[in-house]
A and B are shown apart, each in its own frame.
Chain A
Amino acid sequence: MIRTYSSQEHIEQLNIAVKVENVTVEYKGKPNLFNVNMEVPCGVLLAVLGPNNSGKTTLLKTMAGIEKPTAGNVYIYSKPTHAAKNDLAYVPERNMVNWDFPISLFDLVLMGSYNRLRRVEHPKKKDKVIAWEALERVGLEKLAKKSICDLSRGEKHRALIARALVQDARIYVMDDPMVAADEESINIIVEVLQELRAKKKTVIVSHHEFVTIPRYFDMVALLNVKLLGMGKTEDILTEENFEKTYGMSAGMIKNIRLYMDESHDRNK
């Protein structure tokens, strides 16, 4: 079905980077996501929060066009995901990558240029320069020739982000890009995320650290199979919402709150 928009609608659509419309994704008859509706504006840093098995990865993969929704649609800049070539770069979860694969770090990062190449074309000098710049941006240029199996956890995260940077997309979807990473890597990744926002790119990240959310992200989406809330970070990160999403005891939420207050004070 071809959708047409009035001029006012069209202007609104241009400001929406990702639109998720009544999306349900089932796996073995059970819903991983149920009737999710969300609109991600252009140029924001959005954190997707939720407990384990809440459907965060499924949501990100559906946005990236990797998973096909059982029902509903996803639009990238008003186009269906399969038509949004080069608009979106995906950073998979570190554990979902075969790190024993025999390639160098530079080869991995260079993979980001393949969307610009024709079927039997190999990367050119220009692509290699872009890959080198991405490596420099994440501070891994000295390890370029190293095998990917020899990288530390934080370096692996940075390597995957560098590959996505080479794609030069308008939307970046990242699955847990900071989990179990060292402090240096987290700082570099956060800098990269903020640079992307400054360039008006849209970044959607699944994240686990509540403490750092107010510092890093403009918007938060709370997910537990259903979308329980989405909006500005300060509006969404409330005790009530946490309890609704995580089903935790009040004591646990208090501790989290304490953490959040401390981090807020530190920021002041």
Chain B
Amino acid sequence: MIEISDTFIFNTMLKSASFLGLSSGMLGVILSYQRRSIEINALAAGSFVGILVFYLLAGVGVYISPYIFEQIDKYVFSFIGSIVGALFMIVLLHILYKTDRLHMHIIQSLMTAVMLGVGITLITYIRHTGGSLDSGIDIYLFGEKTSLTSEEFVFLRVIATAIVVILLLYFSRLKIVVFNKDIALTTHFHTSFYYFLVNIMVICLVAFSIKIMGVFLSVSIFLIPAVTARLWSNRLFIIMITAGLIGAVSGALGTTVSGLLGNITLGISITLILAVIFIISLIISPYKGILGKKLYSGGK
């Protein structure tokens, strides 16, 4: 655990969580209207398994060629593993959607459960085998404060900024693609290009969110800002900006709370802050708030 006085690490994590919150909050709005919010759970679980498999492969690699493998940083393996795992999961999910046998939410929940089962089995195996391999692997469960290296932070900042820029540039087109696929197709949009773009952005963000938020809570930073922002506006653009701001503020506040309390991980503190913002919005928001509706309509 880091102390809040450890300014450099604290600042790095605060910025990382804010960048992650901003980009995933905005992307979460698109995902929620594609009815894919729960898919984040499955992607995070797939990413988790990918990381563990790459850890195991790295362990085998150290035995075979110690010189080469000891030169490579652990985070490179974990990042490649998480990208490969999430990619595998997204392909698997889309194959299963196309079979049209089960509802997409059932498929998402089923794959999450299966992948978490595989992941927990692998993590247990890695712990039993012991050695240096199992150090730092627990951060993928609930997130950690010191989990990002400075190289990872730079990478996250670049990816998050790129995602925000892409979402703003392609906003009009993404709006139609998400609103109605048939209308998008007859307007001659390449809908598959936009789905591909969204999938790439999701995979990249999941690779970071699993480190900061942990496998179980990754979904919260995508889903809760989107749902909360919907309570404040009826316009997609405003919802997207609001969700980004809620994500960024929750990331910053969550890091601060985690630093102050010292004994809760980043994933848990960010999720709790998001939950508090959601509950307050649910009560006072003008459009759908429990009290807000009455307040703004003059009690009528």
Contact = CB atoms under 8 A, between A and B. Distances in A.
**A and B assemble together:** yes
Most buried by A among B100, B173, B182, B233: B182
A111 B172 CA distance: 8
B5 interface: no
A111 B182 contact: no
Contacts, number: 71
A65 interface: yes
A96 interface: yes
A106 B182 CA distance: 19
A60 to B, nearest CB: 10
A103 B175 contact: yes
Contact of B173 (A88, A90, A114): A114
A55 interface: no
Interface stretch (B13-21, B56-64, B66-74, B184-192): B184-192
B91 interface: no
A127 to B, nearest CB: 11
A89 interface: yes
A98 B186 contact: no
Nearest to A84: B188
Interface residues of B, number: 24
Given A102-B236, A103-B175, A114 B187 contact: yes
B186 A89 contact: yes
A98 B180 CA distance: 7
A82 to B, nearest CB: 8
B230 A102 contact: yes
B66 to A, nearest CB: 49
Interface in B129-186: 169-170, 172-173, 175-176, 178-180, 182-183, 185-186
Nearest to A88: B186
A123 B172 contact: yes
A248 interface: no
A129 B236 CA distance: 22
A115 B180 contact: no
Most buried by A among B33, B178, B187, B233: B187
9 contacts: A65-B185, A66-B186, A86-B188, A98-B179, A102-B234, A104-B234, A104-B235, A115-B188, A163-B183
Interface of B: 33, 100, 169-170, 172-173, 175-176, 178-180, 182-183, 185-189, 230, 233-236, 239
Nearest 7 Cβ contacts at the A-B interface: A90-B186, A147-B234, A115-B187, A120-B169, A85-B188, A102-B236, A92-B182
